Amino acid sequence: MHATEFTTPAREEPDDRFAAVVAGLGTCLPRTEIRNAWFAERLDTSDDWIRARTGIATRRRVTPDVSMTDLACAAADAALRSAGRTTVDALVLATTTPDRPCPAAAPEVADRIGQGGIPAFDVSAVCSGFVYALATATGLLSAGLADSVLVTAAETYSRIVDPADRSTAVLFGDGAGAVVLRRGTARETGALLAFDLGSDGAARDAIHVPGEREQPEGERWFTMAGRKVYLRAVEHMTASALSVVKDCAWAPDDIGAFVAHQANARIIDAVADRLGVPSEAVVCEIARVGNTAAASIPLALADAADGGRLEPGSRTVLTAFGGGLTWGSAALTWPHLTPVRSEI
Ligand code: ACO
């Protein structure tokens, strides 16, 4: 295995050292809802199979006139409103479903939300993209290159999954989420206290969309070795989440909110069990939106915050896993904020 890992140094109790602080949270979902029954009418599948094996009941999909960039702009704008700000110094966009291969979408998002001119770039880490983008934005803040960064994650997987493939078509939904990060200290609520990131490119084919050279003929759809990915997801999210919990000197039963990438309710439960996270801390919002790839963590955070499941100061652990393979985790205390939601 060719695994590469970056782990932050062990931290003591929260103090006045630098930290990136979460200051706003916004989301955008397409209005069109696709229930499990819709697939059961078209494919050899059933509502029972999808609910039992994934936890998904329904998901949202974009209509042909809505782009990934439209979703990203709406979520970014909502996050700015949640933070009570009109400007930021930089924008990082996590996506693996760009509307076009070149250029990156982030400069367009920055321009369309009235922030033209700021540094803006995309991060491609599949379902780990939001955590990778959070870490990247924290680096910009730490290096003094920005005092505030908009971290946006937006996906339109409905455009890359084969509608005739029951093993992937039922899993994914479209959506976007965004947070505003600002320079602050580790003592503040909302402070990001630890990160862990990793990858294993030797397993790159477990989740992939073939390129033109790999597959010159025919349509190039998303494929996933479901069972293999399931096992690797449990293994890496458990180890990665444990790493940030240890860096913060927290115990698993201190965790107030555990928000794993929302790919499969059984994976989330298996990781939480292995870590020893209390069941009431586990956030699982997959039933309403399916797997929205990089957007899944901010969408789940907004649902949990609106549902009163995230208290200011709660010790919160985010963990993600996706194609690459990639994985990553972050630990933070939950800030005082009200999410702003939008639909398109
Ligand atoms: N309806 C009915 N049957 C189905 C369906 C469906 N929609 N999909 C697959 N099946 C069948 C399979 O064909 C197989 O049949 P067989 O036993 O006759 O061969 C059977 O169900 C079992 O298939 P498995 O793949 O073993 O099912 P499993 O319980 O593993 O569930 C799933 C599949 C949901 C994909 C699961 O493996 C999973 O969630 N994997 C990980 C997903 C993940 O974490 N992805 C990473 C992030 S996503 C990203 O990076 C973009």
Per-residue pLDDT reduced to its tens digit, 211-224: 999 999 999 999 99
Distance separating alpha carbons of residues 220 and 218, to the nearest angstrom: 6
In three-state secondary structure terms, 234 is helix
User: What percent of the chain lies above the pLDDT cut of 70?
Assistant: 96
Specify whether the CB–CB gap between 155 and 96 falls below 8 A. Answer: yes
CA 167 to ligand 1: nearest atom: 8
Sign of CA dihedral 240, 267, 191, 289: positive
In the CATH scheme, what is the homologous superfamily, with its name and number, of domain 1-344? Thiolase/Chalcone synthase (3.40.47.10)
Please give the pLDDT value at position 317. 98
Cβ atoms of 286 and 55 closer than 8 Å: yes
The C-alpha atoms of residue 123 and residue 138 are separated, in whole angstroms, by 14
Q: How far apart are CA 151 and CA 148, in angstroms?
A: 10
What percentage of the chain has pLDDT greater than the value 90?
95
| pLDDT of 4 above 70 | no
Would you state the torsion angle of the CA atoms of residues 186, 192, 194, 200, taken in this order, to the nearest 10 degrees?
A: -160
The residue contributing the CA closest to ligand 1 atom 31 is 53
Distance 130 CA to ligand 1 centre (A): 24
C-alpha distances out from residue 67 to 119, 128, 159, 340, Å: 22, 21, 10, 20
**Ligand 1, pocket residues at CB < 6 Å:** 45, 49-50, 53-54, 126-127, 166-167, 170, 207, 226-227, 229-230, 233, 263-264, 267, 291, 293, 321-323
- Closest approach atom of ligand 1 to CA 126: 50
At 8, the pLDDT band (50, 70, 90 cuts) reads low
Q: Which residues are catalytic?
A: 127, 261, 291
pLDDT above 60: residue 13: no
Which pLDDT band, with edges at 50, 70 and 90, does 1 fall under? very low
pLDDT tens, 289-308? 999 999 999 999 999 999 99
Name the residue at shortest CA distance from atom 9 of ligand 1.
Answer: 167
Contact 61, 231 (CB under 8 A): no
Beta-bridged to residue 19, according to DSSP, are: 184
Which residue's CA is minimally distant from atom 5 of ligand 1? 167
| Distance between Cα 252 and ligand 1 center (Å) | 29
Instruction: Give the residue from 69, 71, 83 showing the smallest Cα distance to 27.
Output: 71
Percentages helix, strand, coil for the chain, rounded to the nearest 5? 35, 30, 35
Q: What's the CA-to-centroid distance between 226 and ligand 1, angstroms?
A: 5
* Domain definitions of the chain by residue range: 1-344
Terminal Cα-to-Cα distance of the chain (whole angstroms): 42
Q: What is the 161 CA–ligand 1 centroid distance (Å)?
A: 14
